[in-house]
Structure 1
Amino acid sequence: MTKSTSRSQVRLIASTNAIFGADEACAMLHISRDAMYRLAKDPDDPFPIRYIGGKTRDGIVLHDELVAWVERNSVVGSPRRD
């Protein structure tokens, strides 16, 4: 006998297993969805969004790929002083 899983349970499982929705990834990085899509088009080091089943919206971002991308595309240092 198999147990059915609701969409909200799937979202919780995905979030706890290091898979984020596009909106979650944007919120974590404090960037807009438009900014994420622009970054995803970078030919040298695109933002690591993935799409399942031929979808072109509402992608997912894997935790390890996101961390690696942030490490490559950020600068360590003090906050800017104006």
Structure 2
Amino acid sequence: MNDATGPRPVPPQDYYSAQQVMDLLRISKRRLYELAERDDDPLPLRTFPGAKRGSIADRRELRDWVLRNTVLVREREQRG
């Protein structure tokens, strides 16, 4: 995910690779797949039927998911 210089810059684009999603959200590969496999509001990773690699995320779906699954810093104590 990160190297000594921090996360890799990710330019705005329509679709992001799993690695780019990890860099954008600053999460590990393990956390990425935990979020994608949860039952309630999973992280919107997509793949072609039968594929085992090559997950992608649509920018709009990812943005909407982030807004639903995060809180403002000042509200984090209130929501626990």
Shared fold (TM-score, shorter chain, > 0.5) = yes
Q: Which residue of 2 aligns with 1:50?
A: 46
Describe the shift of the 1:43–1:53 C-alpha distance in structure 2 as closer, same or farther (beyond 3 A). closer
Structure 1 runs (4+) greater than 2 angstroms displaced: none
Mapped to 1, the partners of 2:36 and 2:44 lie a distance apart of: 7
Per-residue deviation, 1:41: 1.2
CA 1:16 to 1:75, structure 2 compared with 1: closer, same or farther past 3 Å?
closer
Is 1:76 matched up with 2:72?
yes
Question: Unaligned 5+ residue runs, structure 2?
Answer: 1-10
Residues 28-74 of structure 1: CA deviation (Å, up to 9, x unaligned)? 00001110100111101101000024212230000000001100100
Sort the Cα spacing of 1:77 and 1:17 in 2 relative to 1 into closer, same or farther, 3 A. closer
**TM-score normalised by the chain length of structure 2:** 0.72
TM-score (norm 1): 0.70
CA distance in 1, matches of 2:27, 2:52: 19
Query: Secondary structure in 2 aligned to 1:36?
Result: helix
Higher Cα radius of gyration: 1
